[in-house]
Structure 1
Amino acid sequence: MASADESTRWRLVAEFLKEYRWEPQASRHQLLTEEPSGTGDDRWDVLLAALAEHLAARDGRRAPTWADSRRLRRFWFPYNTPAARVDAFVHAPAAFRSRGVFLADHELEVA
């Protein structure tokens, strides 16, 4: 993800979410245990940590240890329009909200 542009990063996240969904629940946690390489952008590194915690929690598991310390000092709204900001502020999952990433939960739904 380090050399990818923002659009490609979102596609990679969507692809991962699709693959994760199809993985048997008993083995999904293995997809989250290894710390991903840094992206070169703190916001994206924190987003990946929030995503790992969010997915682990949905499966009744604890966040991977590598994700524990990742937090932003300033809020980040990846979809930064007035309507998207309000939607994200109201509907961001706890794992994202606690890290300062405001992304509406429906933005994490992929076909």
Structure 2
Amino acid sequence: MTDARQPYRAARLVELASWIRSSDEDERWRLVAEFLEEFRHEEPVTRLALLREEPPPIGDPNWDAFLAGLAEHLAAKDGRAGPPWSEGHVLPRFWFPFNTPAARVDAFVHAPAAFRRRGVFVAASELDVA
């Protein structure tokens, strides 16, 4: 009998996008947290490869801009530029994923530049898993 198990590999951003597309809002944030946790344990060259491929549209421009910001933010943490596909994903109106008065203030003050320039206001503390 052969062992058909596949060796572990971290999820790519394009896979995260696919999972987000078919999930509800609460599940989406759990998936993001899991992606960030896996990403954190990879070597820098592997992390860059996980971000390289452009995800197809989610069907929600807010999430498309979030994923572009996430790719740029994570690449910048390794001293690299974001993948070319991440350029141009800018929202016409600000989006505060965690939309309580306190969360809005925190996000407005502490959103990383990669998100802020796209109109996505998520506090850096929300991304601290990575």
Q: TM-score with structure 1 length normalisation?
A: 0.96
Residue of 28, 31, 42 corresponding to 1:12 = 31
Residue of 92, 96, 99 corresponding to 1:77 = 96
- Rg comparison, structure with higher value: 2
> Would you identify which runs of 4 or more consecutive aligned residues in structure 1 move more than 2 Å?
none
Shift of 1:110: 2.4
Match of 2:60, as an amino acid? D
Q: Provide the aligned C-alpha RMSD in A.
A: 1.1
Residue of 68, 71, 75 corresponding to 1:49 = 68
Tell me how far apart the structure 2 counterparts of residues 83 and 10 of structure 1 sit (CA, whole Å).
19
Shift of 1:78: 0.4
Shift of 1:36: 1.4
Tell me how far apart the structure 1 counterparts of residues 37 and 82 of structure 2 sit (CA, whole Å).
19
Tell me how far apart the structure 1 counterparts of residues 26 and 53 of structure 2 sit (CA, whole Å).
24
- The runs of 5 or more residues in structure 2 that have no matched partner are 1-19
Q: Number of residue pairs matched?
A: 111
Tell me how far apart the structure 2 counterparts of residues 46 and 26 of structure 1 sit (CA, whole Å).
24
Aligned sequence identity (%):
65
Determine the structure 2 residue equivalent to 1:26: 45
- The runs of 5 or more residues in structure 1 that have no matched partner are none
